[in-house]
Structure 1
Amino acid sequence: MTLYMPLFRLCTTLRAVSQLHAHLFVTGLHRDPSASTKLIESYAQMGTIESAKLVFDHFPNPDSFMWGVLIKCYVWNGFFGGAISLYKKMMCSQAHLTNFIFPSVLRACSGFGDQDIGREVHARIIKCGFESDSVVETSLLSMYGEGGSLDNARQVFDGMSIRDVVSWSSIISSYVQNEQSSEGLRMFSEMIVKGQEPDPITMFAVAEACAELGLLGQAKSVHAYVVRKEIQSNGALDNSLIAMYGKCGDLYSSDVMFDNIIHRTTSSWTAIITCYYQNGCYEEALHAFVEMQESNVQPNVVTMMGILSCCARLYWLREGKSVHCYVIRKAIDPECDLLGPGLIDLYANSGKVKYCQKLFDTAEEKHILLWNMIISGYARKGLSKEALMLFVQMQSLGILLDSFTLGSVLSACGDVCFSQFGLQIHGCIIKTGISNEFTQTSLIDMYSNCGFMDSAYRIFDEDQKRSTVTWNSMICGFSQNGNSVQAITLFDQMHSNCLAMDEVTLLVAVQACSNLGHLEKGKWVHHKIINYGIEKDTYIDTALTDMYAKCGDLEMARRVFDTMSDRNVVSWSAIISGYGMHGEVETAISLFKQMVGSGIKPNEITFMNILFACSHAGYVKEGKSYFRSMMKEFGIIPTSEHYSCMVDLLSRAGDLDEAYRIIRTMPFPADASIWGALLNGCRIYRRTDMVRSIVGDLLDIQTDDTGYYTLLSNIFAEGGDWDEFKMVRSTMRNTGLRKVHGYSAIEVD
């Protein structure tokens, strides 16, 4: 039989193995245990586990080694459940157990995810006296670590008499894979202190730990250790170091590492593309993908996930479609099982909801990721009701929810103020125990959007592990609901407790100062923005411009605006509004012309600001011109606010008949603000005749604006129409409205 062993190594195809099997059968050598064992192994290597099992089944009284080889072959091919079943049959067959069996069985338990069976096998190992075998111990360590049983893994590790580099690597990897990277790094330090030299696999796990913790200094030390100890950097370690620097935000070092790789594989290119994506350098990631194609290196599914995400973040629909075609042409993911969520994200970001639905409907396997992506896609595009209907459909199919599902649904509830459904989702979170930072923050956002600030604050107050995102969510909720004082109070708490702040924290603080008119506090926040080294950000600069303008410091508002390198339509609208509210209409008009000249198209808010400026300065001709150009040149349909500005402009100028004509020709009924603008003009120019002619329209208005009723009653009183005066005042009393007294506010240091 020894003569045939080299022949097995020469069999590289299934046909060759079958021919050798036939020859052994004809010569009767198939009865030799060694021959049958090699046949089992050869068939398994060809991927035909069924043939391997047939050889085993036809062999009388297989020994322990043959059982072990078949179990190992099942594990090779990913049939973990089958491997465990074979182990149980072996136990029933009374076959003699050897230490060779247990590493494969433990690997099967790990792959199958059944810790209970793993513990039973562990008990059998102890009973057989193999618990001191180094290979078995390391397999036990890996099984417990991969299953998340870190206490058991550590117990096995501490009980090992001899700890080699494999066992150290295994325990370090176990901690890192179970989100305890700090403990993994501590174990690495202990390993070095005890004189055990690490290998590339150890350093791979250590690099991953540094990446997860974002420790750039530690990451550089790990890289230096690899270089100093001349640890042979295989491809996996190089790629891990690239990813490590990327997650730590050091793209320069990632680039240097990548440039030093001579033979760049798919994994190398994928690592650098992922680094660019994670750091927001989407265009650089796409450029790297083009270079990868020019280098004739084929991408894999993970590569394409990153590329699709880059196109989605950039809103590059055309390029995204090209990538989609490339995926189809290269058959990278024929069933779109893995790339489906990325494609839905791409089309959802570009507003192509029908494409998303088509991809979802044609997917053969609708897994949780696919459901999550389409629900979040609908929610992001304002199709909240459709998102909630999908969620209901998902639940009716019995698909298990996760935190991302619940967070997306809560976002949809908040957008449409569907608080009752949101309460049910809150109950579901409590019932299922799916509570983490994402769900807690989503609950705060949902309750805030629905106006239930007490509920939002209760969740915030009960959260013992508040992150920066949680604080931001609560501060933003207060600010958006008109509770800017509470928003500033929370911001001050963050600062006094030395908690980490980011761009969003400072942005919301500036907006709260703007709402309150707190100039000195706004300056203090601006000072902190500079001290924290926050990079120039369009959103923050726009908020600062708006804050300074609303607080009366127009010079500082203009200075911030002029230093902005990237101005969008919101930035221009803010500075135009600032000059308009301070009566400097000529400057506001000049800025509007500069904005259009720079190629930025004004939006509804821009026109509302310029019309407001014209209204309060009496620029009737200019106001009419902007109102016409809004529709004819820019295709913007006027809203109630725009009509209100126009009616106010004409009413202030005394052209009440034209103002009334505009109200009558509006495509929708006039609200209290529009009638109020006309009423104010009637009072100024004493047009009681017009008030009498429209009194029916005025009294039909349903509003909680006490100013409207007060103005109307005062007009009736001034004209001596006391019956109408009493009727308006009676309406106010019956609806529970009271005249709001005027007040002034000052800022106290």
Structure 2
Amino acid sequence: MTLYMRLFRACSTSTTLTQIHGHLIVTGLYMDPLASTKLIESYAQMGPFESSRLVFDHFQNPDSFMWGVIVKCHVWNGFFQESISLYHRMIYKSAQISSFIYPSVLRACSAIGDLGFGQKVHGRIIKSGFVSDFVTDTSLLNMYGEMGRLDSARKVFDYMSVRDVVSWSSIISSYVQNGRASQGLHIFGQMMMESSEIDEVTMLSAAEACGELGLWRLARSLHGFVLRRNIQIVGALGTSLVAMYGKCGDMCSSEGLFTQAAFKNTSLWTAMISCYHQNGCYHEALRTFVEMQGSNVEPNAVTLMSTVCSCSRLGRLKEGKSIHGFVIRTAVDTENDLMGPALIDLYANCGKLKECHKVFEVTQDRRVVSWNLLISNYAREGMTIEAIKLFKQMLVEGIQPDSFTLSSVISACGDIGFSLLGCQIHGSILKTGFSSEFVQNSLIDMYCKCGLLGSAHMTFDDAKQRGVVTWNTLITGLLQNGKSEEAMALFSEMYAYALEMDEVTFLSAIQACSNLGYIRKGKWIHHKMITSGMRKDMYIDTALIDMYAKCGELQIARKVFDSMLERSVVSWSTLLGAYGMHGQVDAAILVFKEMVESGIRPNTITFMNILSACSHAGNLEEGKKFFNSMRNDFGIEPNSEHYACLVDLLSRAGDLNGAYSVILSMPSPVDASIWAALVNGCRIHQRMDVINSIRESLLNIRTDDTGYYTLLSNLYAGGGEWGKFRMIRSTMKRKGLEKVQGCSMIEIDKKIHKFGANDKSHLQIKGCNLLANFLSSGLSKIVELDASVI
């Protein structure tokens, strides 16, 4: 028998093993438990695996050790369900159970995620008296940790009589892998205080925890500990340290460890490329990938995924396609299909939506991340209907959406005003209870874009978590719907509760002040931004210029502009429009020249502002010159707003025939704003003859602009043509249009009071009426007294 044991150890091929098996049968040693057990184990290692199971099934009375070996062999080869079935069969036959079998059964439970059965096995372990067995306890610890039951894992760990480096490493790894890195580091500290032995595996989990938390100082201390203990920085530990420094943003240390490594395997190269990508060093990531190819080290799916993502961020379509071809040729990603989402992101960022969809169609494992990328990219490119169709297809195929999916689709509904689907999604979220701050912000934004401010407020009030983005979303939505006063009230509420505010919050508040003319409040906000140390922001400075200009503080607006560190075309256009708003056309023209000389190319808004400035100042020749310069010097085709400015300029100057000629020469359909500019010119110069000549064109205009109808009706009324006046007014009434009433505002004791024609909503309106009556009655008595004297 000893001879056969030596032959088993020396056996290296399945053919030799079959010959030994034959000799055992011939010699009658086949039924020896030790020989059969060794035969089972050898077949499991060298194959065929079916022979291993046949040997076991033909053995009449297998002992506990043989049961343990056959279960372990099934676990080795990934037959987890079969190993559990063997365990049930062993229990049914009332075979004697040793502690040797439990680690394999617990590993099988962990692999298939069967927590309930694992707990039953744990109960049997306690009943059998194996609870103090070190190997079994460690296996229980691993099982609970891998299934995320950290409370149970910690109980097992706390009750262990003996804790070696394996058990310590297991509990630390369990916490780190389940997103509890800080607790994992705390346990690591306890391990060091108890002077327990620390090996490479323990350091792997500790390094990963430091990286996840971004604790750079602790990462340096950990690295120093490894060096002091002379732990070899090779293999998995070297890779883990490189990744740790990369997650902490210390690329110099990552590069140093990578360069010093004597042997660079695929994992180390991949870690270095991933570090570059995570820190935005996309060029370096591609360069390292090229070096890896030159070193004859084969990349894996993770390597290629990080490289493709770097190509995506740089817009390197050619290089990304090359990697895509390599993936197809080598079939490197057939099992996990990690490349699908990365390739979808590559083609989407390079504007190749057709290729993006093709990759999606051939992707074998369509995970939710692939659906999310495709839906979000369709929505981003304005293909909202296609994004919604994809979402419906995703639901039909049984893929459960996550918060990113819902947010993308809800935003798409808001972009096209599809509130019906948005409300249905909201209802589904309320029923399932699946919500997040990300989703609730999208819902608020969607309702605001659809004009459903009541629903937006309700979603905001019901929100469990209100971060700065949630507040900003509602404030911005109110602004977009013309509710500047409500937006300012919400901003004041944020300030009263001392909530966190960012640049977007202040930007929205400044825009609200600009719309309302709240100069004192605007100055206060500006002061708070300066005293809080908020960094200079181009968008906020531009909003301040607009606010100060609209509130009459042109000099302060200019000071803000001069203090800007960076100026965009929007900043220049805003200052130019500010001068035009105040009738300083010469200053506006000077700003335009300075802008061009500084290398900033004007856009359509710039020309609209300069044309408007020339129009209000009556500077006809300059206005014509700027209009012609648009196309001739800057290649900008005038749109309807530019033509409206030109017509207004000519009409105000009295050149009504020239304005009419411009309208007739327009390449695009003439809208109401352009006809209104001509009508306004006729009103200024009392040219009813021009109005009569274009009467048919004016009456055929289809618009909901109340200003146009009001201007035209007032013109007819001024000319005494009351029949036409009544016809225009009846048209407005039939369309449900009402004249927008003007209003006045006054600020008293830091409070804004708003008054409009026939407005009776103010709280002090009754007092004002009593005062008016008193004054009028007193005045009449004085008149009577004067008359009697005479």
TM-score by length of 1: 0.87
- Which amino acid in structure 1 is aligned with residue 18 of structure 2? H
Cross-structure match for 2:783: none
- Whole-angstrom distance in 2 between the partners of 1:140 and 1:343: 40
Deviations 1:111-135 (A, max 9, x none): 2111111111111212221112122
**Contact 1:328 1:334 survives alignment (8 Å):** no
Cross-structure match for 2:302: 302
Mapping of 1:350-749 within 5 angstroms?
Answer: 350-487=350-487, 490=490, 504-505=504-505, 508=508, 512=512, 515=515, 552=554, 553-561=556-564, 563-564=565-566, 570=570, 573-574=573-574, 577=577, 581=581, 583=585, 584-591=587-594, 593-594=596-597, 597=599, 603-618=603-618, 627=627, 638-666=638-666, 668-701=668-701, 703-734=703-734, 735-744=736-745, 748=750
Q: C-alpha displacement at 1:389, in angstroms?
A: 0.8
- Whole-angstrom distance in 2 between the partners of 1:120 and 1:37: 28
- Which amino acid in structure 1 is aligned with residue 374 of structure 2? I
- Whole-angstrom distance in 1 between the partners of 2:42 and 2:653: 96
Cross-structure match for 1:22: 19
Deviations 1:569-603 (A, max 9, x none): 555655555555553332343245346x56x6x55
**Contact 1:335 1:363 survives alignment (8 Å):** no
Matched, 1:178 2:165: no
Secondary structure at the counterpart of residue 136 of structure 2 = helix
- After superposition, the Cα gap between the structure-2 partners of 1:723 and 1:150, relative to the gap in structure 1 and judged at 3 Å, is same
- Whole-angstrom distance in 2 between the partners of 1:70 and 1:515: 79
- After superposition, the Cα gap between the structure-2 partners of 1:25 and 1:439, relative to the gap in structure 1 and judged at 3 Å, is farther
Cross-structure match for 1:62: 62
- Which amino acid in structure 2 is aligned with residue 171 of structure 1? I
Secondary structure at the counterpart of residue 303 of structure 1 = helix
**Contact 1:706 1:740 survives alignment (8 Å):** no
Cross-structure match for 1:125: 125
- After superposition, the Cα gap between the structure-2 partners of 1:605 and 1:124, relative to the gap in structure 1 and judged at 3 Å, is farther
Cross-structure match for 2:778: none
Deviations 1:589-624 (A, max 9, x none): 3245346x56x6x55445444544454455655655
Secondary structure at the counterpart of residue 589 of structure 2 = helix
- Whole-angstrom distance in 2 between the partners of 1:504 and 1:8: 74
**Contact 1:344 1:359 survives alignment (8 Å):** yes
- Whole-angstrom distance in 2 between the partners of 1:176 and 1:437: 25
Greater shift, 462-471 or 500-509, is seen at 500-509
Mapping of 1:281-360 within 5 angstroms?
Answer: 281-333=281-333, 337-360=337-360
- Whole-angstrom distance in 2 between the partners of 1:523 and 1:626: 35
- Whole-angstrom distance in 2 between the partners of 1:299 and 1:538: 44
Cross-structure match for 1:204: 204
- After superposition, the Cα gap between the structure-2 partners of 1:340 and 1:135, relative to the gap in structure 1 and judged at 3 Å, is same
Greater shift, 132-141 or 509-518, is seen at 509-518
- Which amino acid in structure 1 is aligned with residue 744 of structure 2? Y
- Which amino acid in structure 1 is aligned with residue 466 of structure 2? R
Cross-structure match for 2:103: 103
- Which amino acid in structure 2 is aligned with residue 737 of structure 1? E
- Which amino acid in structure 2 is aligned with residue 21 of structure 1? T
Deviations 1:171-216 (A, max 9, x none): 3332333333333333333434444354333333333334434444
- Whole-angstrom distance in 1 between the partners of 2:531 and 2:249: 20
Identity over aligned pairs, percent: 57
- Whole-angstrom distance in 1 between the partners of 2:489 and 2:680: 39
Greater shift, 538-547 or 331-340, is seen at 538-547
- After superposition, the Cα gap between the structure-2 partners of 1:509 and 1:71, relative to the gap in structure 1 and judged at 3 Å, is farther
- Whole-angstrom distance in 2 between the partners of 1:296 and 1:262: 15
- Whole-angstrom distance in 2 between the partners of 1:713 and 1:256: 80
Cross-structure match for 2:780: none
Cross-structure match for 1:189: 189
Deviations 1:316-351 (A, max 9, x none): 434433433343344432589221111111222222
**Contact 2:107 2:139 survives alignment (8 Å):** yes
- After superposition, the Cα gap between the structure-2 partners of 1:557 and 1:134, relative to the gap in structure 1 and judged at 3 Å, is same
Q: C-alpha displacement at 1:680, in angstroms?
A: 1.9
Secondary structure at the counterpart of residue 204 of structure 1 = helix
- Whole-angstrom distance in 2 between the partners of 1:278 and 1:169: 27
- Whole-angstrom distance in 1 between the partners of 2:42 and 2:701: 87
- After superposition, the Cα gap between the structure-2 partners of 1:467 and 1:309, relative to the gap in structure 1 and judged at 3 Å, is farther
Q: CA RMSD, aligned part only? A: 3.7
- Whole-angstrom distance in 2 between the partners of 1:696 and 1:136: 95
Greater shift, 18-27 or 609-618, is seen at 609-618
- Whole-angstrom distance in 1 between the partners of 2:311 and 2:604: 28
- Whole-angstrom distance in 1 between the partners of 2:520 and 2:259: 50
- After superposition, the Cα gap between the structure-2 partners of 1:264 and 1:689, relative to the gap in structure 1 and judged at 3 Å, is farther
**Contact 2:503 2:540 survives alignment (8 Å):** yes
Deviations 1:119-174 (A, max 9, x none): 11111212221112122112212212221222222222232222333323323332
- Whole-angstrom distance in 2 between the partners of 1:322 and 1:535: 43
Matched, 1:167 2:164: no
Q: C-alpha displacement at 1:393, in angstroms?
A: 1.6
Structure 1 gaps of 5+ residues are none
Q: C-alpha displacement at 1:359, in angstroms?
A: 1.4
- Whole-angstrom distance in 2 between the partners of 1:305 and 1:50: 38
- After superposition, the Cα gap between the structure-2 partners of 1:629 and 1:265, relative to the gap in structure 1 and judged at 3 Å, is farther
- Whole-angstrom distance in 2 between the partners of 1:419 and 1:237: 53
- Whole-angstrom distance in 1 between the partners of 2:47 and 2:498: 59
- Which amino acid in structure 1 is aligned with residue 81 of structure 2? G
- Whole-angstrom distance in 2 between the partners of 1:320 and 1:63: 58
Secondary structure at the counterpart of residue 743 of structure 1 = strand
**Contact 1:546 1:557 survives alignment (8 Å):** no
**Contact 2:704 2:737 survives alignment (8 Å):** no
Structure 2 gaps of 5+ residues are 752-790
Cross-structure match for 2:155: 155
Deviations 1:65-121 (A, max 9, x none): 333333333333433333323322332333321111111211111121111111111
Q: C-alpha displacement at 1:503, in angstroms?
A: 5.4
- After superposition, the Cα gap between the structure-2 partners of 1:71 and 1:540, relative to the gap in structure 1 and judged at 3 Å, is farther
**Contact 1:21 1:39 survives alignment (8 Å):** no
Q: Which has the larger radius of gyration?
A: 2
Aligned residues: 740
Secondary structure at the counterpart of residue 271 of structure 2 = helix
Secondary structure at the counterpart of residue 351 of structure 2 = coil
- After superposition, the Cα gap between the structure-2 partners of 1:394 and 1:543, relative to the gap in structure 1 and judged at 3 Å, is same
Q: C-alpha displacement at 1:46, in angstroms?
A: 5.2
Deviations 1:238-272 (A, max 9, x none): 43344344434444444445445443333333333
- Which amino acid in structure 2 is aligned with residue 466 of structure 1? R
Greater shift, 392-401 or 633-642, is seen at 633-642
Q: C-alpha displacement at 1:418, in angstroms?
A: 0.8
